[in-house]
Each structure stands twice: as structure tokens, then as C-alpha cells.
Amino acid sequence: MSSTQMSKTADVSGETCTLHTDGIPPDTLIKVQRYLERFHLTREKLQEVSERLRKDLIRGLGKHSHHKAPVKMLPTFVRATPDGTEKGDFLALDLGGTNFRVLHVRVMEEQQRVLKMDSQICAIPKEMMQGTGEQLFDHIAACLYDFLLSHNLERETLPLGFTFSFPCEQKEIDKSILIRWTKGFNCSGVEGEDVVKLLKEAIRRRGDYDIGSVAMVNDTVGTMMSCGFRDQSCEIGMIIGTGTNACYMEEMKNVKRVEGEAGRMCINTEWGGFGDDGSLRDIQTEFDVVVDEMSINPGVHTFEKMISGMYLGEIVRLLLVRLTEDGLLFGGRTSKALLTPEAFETKFISEIEEQDNGLENTQKVLSKFGLKWDTVDSCVVRLVCDAISSRSARLCGAALATLANRIRVNRRQERLKTTVGVDGTVYKKHPNFSEELRATVRLLAPKCDITFLVSEDGSGKGAAMVTAVMVHNYCLLFIAELMNEYVLFRQQ
């Protein structure tokens, strides 16, 4: 483990932390640290955050309290994780950003494998993201037809798993109402509507193909289900990429918004909204406030804006601008590029924090921004990136520990063993993020033994997996009903 990583773990534990600060003069370091200390969260503060989220989970599950809960805790109507016996061919749609994917997936019971037979990426023009809902779904239906045609599937009527990575209130497995758009989308006529119905109507308008049963899937659920086919102990799904969210298997008796108390149901937490009621105001910095105010949806998704890839780069940029204006970077001279909102991409943070080539990468990024830098500037920029990414990992770890602790307490287990299915570029690409997140979870959930399983094409394959489980369970239910009828017939 590097000295930087060792110091991070110590900081999470609440002990004195000496960051990797080689190359920065002491007087400059003291001034820079005054800004960075706002991003350093002690163990006690992380425990406070975890406890606040725990209370919000309960509010979101309540029959009468969920309406005002910032963490929505949406029922998904997914009642079981895979058991390894599912099989068949399925289609999957994955919509969650400026591109969406169409996949043909085959689930094979014999080898317990989910194979992506074919896939196709379709772009969504920016103007369409701000246009009408009818235009958007007509575009999706057209791309789906092109995929079916190119793979000789247009005459098939295959079940479809639909990953729709936006906050929705799910009424049934095939009925899901969009609560609000996020991630730059603002299509009219969709919020408050059933997105499955809108998709089916778009396909019906075409009239040249059809689809079978539809299972509506959030991307976190898809991640959990795709990993669950490989590891049946996977009961948590987490995304930390452009946005962030998590789901987990909750006891039905605690899901007051849905009838029935037997068994479990997967809950889509929508934890990105954590803090929308002001509960995270004490750890928000002035830079977080600016990011929120300048976003397309100010006042919502507070937690997401503090930790996810869509916003981390902008937080770093704002901090670099402030340090430059205060004469602590680049000789007090900014550049047009650095002053351009959203110009500092989150991928630059990952490149800058690489252990082997980080300093060289830092200098390439700074040159790309037209800045006149020296070695001290490079070291300070690395320190800034470390502070912002570390806070993200620790906050994410604190939230994940909350879910693991809840599952353990729900089941009255002295020790919980479970698996978390993970997806997202921040987790996968950042050189230190996953290790720091895991260290935080171990610290805040000491009675939980957690395995992390990185999803392979989770949203797409997971949507197919949810559909496979649904079809499989319907078949079992149908067979059971036939057997009951047969028994009654023999008794007459």
C-alpha cells in the first residue's frame, strides 16, 4: 500500500492524518489545507451521516411519511434474486444517459452464465433530451426495430427488460411512473407518466414489430441481479458513476407502502436525494452550493452532487479557480479553459491520482487548460483532487455501511455475510476510490463481511435477469396452480 493510501485509511479512522504532500512548501501547504480541511470527514462525522441516512430509510419506507422523505425508498416489485435455474432469450433496453443500449441476452442455466449475444449503442441528440417525450420514445422504438432487423429478430416476440435510470415510482413490475428527470434530461410529457406505457405506445405507432412482457428495472437493481446470478448472496446493488444510487433486499413487513408481510422486496433507495431536506448542510462546502445552484435541478439530489462523477470534476475546478484567485496556484493567473464551467472532467481526477504517472498526467492536464504551472502547482492540484475524491469515497462508504447494517439488524444476525454488486466509472476507473470505500465500510459496519463484485454490463444483463426471474417465477406459479387444480380434480 502506498503512503498516500495509508494516510487515507488513518484519516477515516479518526486518527491524525499526514497527507502525501511532497513538493509543497510548508507555508503554501498551510494555506491550501485551510480550504481542503472542509472536505476531510472524521470517523465521528461519517457515523453521524450514516445515522441520518438510517433514519431517512425508515421515513422513506413509511406509508404516511414517504411523501416528504428525501430518500424515496421505492418498491421495485422484484421479490427474489436469481437462483441459477433461470434460462431463455431476452431483450434489454438500457437508458440512463446521452446514449442508450439495446441488447440481446441469453441466460443459460447449465453454465450459470448470462451471455450478451449482441448489442448496439444509440445516441440521443442533446436537443432530444430537452424535447418532447413522444420524440424520445419514438427514437427509442426506431432504434429497437433497427436492432431487431439487423439481427433477424424482428419476427420474434421476446420479453424485454427495460433499465430506466431515473427516479420512478414503481406500481408493478411493468408499470413505473417517472418522478423527475435527472442527468440533463427534461423531456416534456413524461414526468408523472408510466414510461412502460410510453414505450409500448411508441412501438404500437410503428406497427411493424412487437415485444413480449416488460420488466421495469432501475440500474442498481440490474446490477444486483446480474451479479446475483453469479453469486446468490448478492443482495445489494450500487452505482457510483455519472450518478449514484443503491438498492437492497428489504423485509416485506417493513415496506408499508405495499400490501403483504411475507418475504422480501428489492428497494430502490434513490439515495442521491439524501440531504435534499438540508440534513447535509453542515458538511456541504461553498463549492457544493455553487455546483447545486448551477445545475439543471437545483435543490435536489444533494448527496449525488457531492459524490458522483457528473459533479466531482466541477467541484475540483471551482476549488482550483479559488486557489488561483488567492495566489496559491499558477502565479495567480487563470485561463479561459479553467474558467469554463464543467470543463474539468472527472476522468482528469482519476488520471491525476494515478500512482505511477500521476504527476506527469497532472502536468498534461494543466497544459491542456493553457495554464502556466510549476512542480509545486502540480503537487497542489493532486492534493486537491485527492481531497475531493476521498470525501466522495468516504461518503459513499458511509451510505453503503448503512444498508449493510440495516440488513444485519433486520435479520437479527450477529454477523452478516453478503455481496454488493457494483457498477460505475468512478468505482471502476479511479485508482484509490474502491479501496477507500471498502475501508470506510469495514470501519462503520464492523459486523458485516462484505464481498464486492464488479458488474459486467450490469444494467443490460441485469434487466434481462429481472425479466428471466419474473418469467421463471410466473412459470412456477402457473405449474403450481395446475397442480392444485389437478389435486382438486382427483379429490372430486
Q: Is the dihedral of CA 438, 400, 175, 132 positive or negative?
A: negative
Q: With contact defined as beta carbons under 8 Å apart, do 187 and 124 qualify?
A: no
Residue ranges making up the domain that contains 423? 1-84+231-492
Listed in sequence order, the residues at least 6 apart from 476 whose beta carbon sits closer than 8 Å to its beta carbon are none
pLDDT at 378: 95
Q: Is residue 333 situated within a structural domain?
A: yes
Q: Is residue 96 situated within a structural domain?
A: no
Q: Is residue 476 situated within a structural domain?
A: yes
Q: Is residue 480 situated within a structural domain?
A: yes
Residues with a known catalytic role: 183, 219
Residue with cell 421495469: 216
Q: What is the pLDDT along the chain (492 residues), one digit of tens a residue?
A: 333 333 444 455 443 333 456 789 999 999 999 999 999 999 999 999 999 999 999 999 999 999 899 999 999 888 877 766 667 788 888 887 778 888 887 776 665 555 667 888 999 998 999 999 999 999 999 999 999 999 999 888 888 888 887 888 888 888 889 988 887 788 999 999 999 999 999 999 999 999 887 888 788 888 898 788 788 899 999 999 989 999 999 999 999 988 888 899 999 999 999 999 999 999 999 999 999 999 988 999 999 999 999 999 999 999 999 999 999 999 999 999 999 999 999 999 999 999 889 999 999 999 999 999 999 999 999 999 999 999 999 999 999 999 999 999 999 999 999 999 999 999 999 999 999 999 999 999 999 999 999 987 655 666 666 666 655 444 333 333 333 443 444 444
The CA distance from 464 to 316, in Å, is 38
Q: With contact defined as beta carbons under 8 Å apart, do 49 and 398 qualify?
A: yes
> Burial, 34: exposed, middle or buried (Cβ in 10 Å; 0-12, 13-18, 19+)?
exposed
Q: Which residues pair with 265 in a beta bridge?
A: 250
Listed in sequence order, the residues at least 6 apart from 487 whose beta carbon sits closer than 8 Å to its beta carbon are none
Q: Is residue 111 situated within a structural domain?
A: no
Provide the greatest CA pair distance for the chain.
94
From residue 237, alpha-carbon distances to 12, 77, 201 in Å are 23, 15, 31
Listed in sequence order, the residues at least 6 apart from 466 whose beta carbon sits closer than 8 Å to its beta carbon are 78, 161, 173, 215, 217, 221, 222, 225
State the CATH number of the domain containing residue 340: 3.40.367.20
How many domains, the chain?
1
Q: Is residue 376 situated within a structural domain?
A: yes
Of residues 284, 236, 246, the one with CA closest to residue 49: 284
Q: Is residue 127 situated within a structural domain?
A: no
Q: Is residue 187 situated within a structural domain?
A: no
